[in-house]
Structure 1
Amino acid sequence: MINIFKRNKVNINSINIPDFGWARSVENKNIKQWINEEQTIALSLNFFDLKPDLPSIKDIKSLRDFYRNQIIEYNGGIIEVDLVEIKGFKIIKTIFKIPQEPTGMMYLGSLTIPFEKCSYVIKIQAPEVGMTGIRDSVIGNKLLNENVISIGENGYENWFEDPYDSKFIGGTLMNKSESIEFDSEFVDHPLSRVREILSEIQKEIIFNKEFEKINKFKK
């Protein structure tokens, strides 16, 4: 006997996020992508119709280790890996940095929303463009004057550090200028924009009713 009652199934359209009035550049069953007018930031909603490969959403240390091991393969580093709850759903919030050629950084922010048999990832990609390193230079000089950092044989000392493991030295570590406390001084910096956009999405994201019958990620 054929079951005529189909179980509700989520898809790319089951989550709605603000697009900030940006132009949509890609739309299919797996991804929606928007680009800002200046073509300096890409925002995307990604749907993965398969079981998530995450180690856990209950153990933040294992999550941070998991993402750290992934990002150092690209010579990158962690800015933030945290668990947040948005409208009843547990979500992994991440911000990474990856060096660009010849100079500057690419900042990658994401909200990963895992379920038992599928997941969504909201991504923001924002590279440094034009003259790079201004934020680093200004804050570096400020912290030098305040004796927070010093200059050694290999440049600044006490400048780079993984935010969760002070002994870790791989990849491209977060530096002190990338702290959120300095975003207000550099509102157009790509890292500041990534944080701002993630914050807006966290406030405005909408989960459709299909999720009421979808099993959550339990690991």
Structure 2
Amino acid sequence: MPIAFDTTGLQQRDQATWVNPANGDQVSLTYFDLVPDLPASLDDLPKLRHDLAVTTGQVGCLIEAHHVRLGDVPALFQVVKVPLPNQPSGQAFIGSFTVPKAGSSAVLKLQAVERGMTGMREAVLVAQLGFEDWVMPHPYAPEVEGRLPFHRGDDPRYDAQFADHPLSRVRAWAHHTIRTARVDPRFAALPPFTPDPGPAPAPAVPEVGSTLTTVVPGLPIGGYLPLWIDDECTFWRMAEPDVVLAKLALGALARTPLTDRRFRDLVALDESSATIMLLNRYRSEDGGIASGTAGLTRVTGLEAHEALTTDTLLEAFRWIGRVSVAAAERGEHVTVEPGTHTGDLAEPYVRLAVQDELSIARTAPTPPTETPMWLGQSSLTSPATRESIEAGGILAMYAMNTWGEHPLRLCLTFTPH
């Protein structure tokens, strides 16, 4: 089989099935010699989540879906709940890892079923949290009314309170599997899955006579890009993230000054065509200032916020680390701070700089002593290498986690040495 995983505590029922005798949870490993039946690639997480939520809603509810790495191989992780067949109550919770390839896939799945008195988790949490806003629009597809509702009780923050609930067991198994599973190198080396793209859409172009508004971009996270229109933070899904990231925060775009030494990137937004124009920082030889356009789709804050996962957050702050390397090469510091900071440097912030062959990360307020890497210090230095400068992005993430500020409301500010 293409996936090797930890079977401790499981009894093998047949070649592809294992059972936990303590609680009845069943694990299966299946190989499909077919093109994966996924509606989008793993790189197009918003569409993948939306379409999976729609199809799963016909039989139950998609609780969460993430692009993860299983044994350093890209995989789709899903948690689904479905009603127990032929029973008046009770649910089954299914966590699955799908490793898709161009012409085949491998699926590792755990199914955990409610037994005995069902609905206890929901009953206790409704008493704690109240009925108001208990059932919520699905974060991946708000228009979906599934067979089972999307509600607050399935949030992972409550797993510790109900450690033996089947949903909690599914997530605990998944966390362990991500750390320990391995994919056969021969299977991992197969061509990646690429869905049929269909006809290519026409590139978005601002219409003649349209109104362009200069806006400040925030941090790109999970395929979404916040745009600050004056004091309002709006949220947009990028049609071509690579086009935007090829210019954003690399010293190539036009800038707006906050003070005489603090600057942010600037793009031009045409709301009517949902397009941003990437404005060059310097004029080209023919006097032009535009370097291309990128299509967007305006979304709700809820949709953009739901794209924030451990994986997308890590990738965003690793990107900040790479941005910091590029800034150091052109003689600039990078400051990670709330987009509402529009003047002099103010708390909270993290400044990443290279000076005197040292990589320096400085933050305020000083993080609590239990904050990883910072450990109660406000400034960290190390010899300036590419690795140490890039690590500043992760330092910024840990500091940011103590601010109470959502990452999608942060901006990058550049200061010359």
Structure 2 length-normalised TM: 0.44
Per the TM alignment, residue 15 of structure 1 is displaced from its structure 2 partner at its CA by 1.8
Structure 2 matches for 1:22-171, cutoff 5 A? Answer: 22-27=10-15, 32-38=16-22, 40-57=24-41, 58-74=43-59, 76-100=60-84, 101-144=87-130, 149-150=131-132, 158-161=133-136, 162-171=138-147
For the residues of structure 2 that align with 1:111 and 1:15, how far apart are their CA atoms? Answer: 10
1:19-47 alpha-carbon deviations (Å, 9 max, x no partner) = 123111121xxxx1101113521011111
For the residues of structure 2 that align with 1:207 and 1:134, how far apart are their CA atoms? Answer: 37
Mapped pair 1:188 → 2:164 = yes
For the residues of structure 2 that align with 1:181 and 1:187, how far apart are their CA atoms? Answer: 11
Gaps of 5+ in 2: 196-417
SS in 1 for 2:124: helix
For the residues of structure 2 that align with 1:167 and 1:118, how far apart are their CA atoms? Answer: 32
Q: For the structure 1 residues 69 and 92, does the alpha-carbon distance in structure 2 shift closer, same or farther, using more than 3 Å as the test?
A: same
For the residues of structure 2 that align with 1:212 and 1:81, how far apart are their CA atoms? Answer: 21
CA contact (8 A) 2:94 2:170 kept: yes
1:40-72 alpha-carbon deviations (Å, 9 max, x no partner) = 210111111121122222211221233223322
Q: For the structure 1 residues 143 and 212, does the alpha-carbon distance in structure 2 shift closer, same or farther, using more than 3 Å as the test?
A: closer
Q: Percent identity?
A: 30
Q: For the structure 1 residues 87 and 190, does the alpha-carbon distance in structure 2 shift closer, same or farther, using more than 3 Å as the test?
A: same
SS in 2 for 1:124: strand
Per the TM alignment, residue 117 of structure 1 is displaced from its structure 2 partner at its CA by 1.2
1:179-204 alpha-carbon deviations (Å, 9 max, x no partner) = 10000000000000000001111111
Per the TM alignment, residue 93 of structure 1 is displaced from its structure 2 partner at its CA by 0.7
Match of 1:18 in 2: 6
Per the TM alignment, residue 212 of structure 1 is displaced from its structure 2 partner at its CA by 5.3
Q: Aligned AA for 2:182?
A: I
Match of 2:304 in 1: none
More displaced 10-residue stretch of structure 1: 48-57 or 127-136 = 48-57
1:72-101 alpha-carbon deviations (Å, 9 max, x no partner) = 232x01110111123432111100111122
RMSD: 1.6
Q: Aligned AA for 1:136?
A: E
Q: Which has the greater radius of gyration?
A: 2
Q: Aligned AA for 1:95?
A: V
Structure with more contact order per residue of length (Cα contacts < 8 Å, sep ≥ 6): 1
For the residues of structure 2 that align with 1:165 and 1:71, how far apart are their CA atoms? Answer: 11
More displaced 10-residue stretch of structure 1: 82-91 or 18-27 = 82-91
Runs of 4 or more consecutive aligned structure 1 residues displaced over 4 Å after TM superposition:
none
Q: For the structure 1 residues 102 and 86, does the alpha-carbon distance in structure 2 shift closer, same or farther, using more than 3 Å as the test?
A: same
CA contact (8 A) 1:79 1:163 kept: no
Gaps of 5+ in 1: 1-11, 151-157
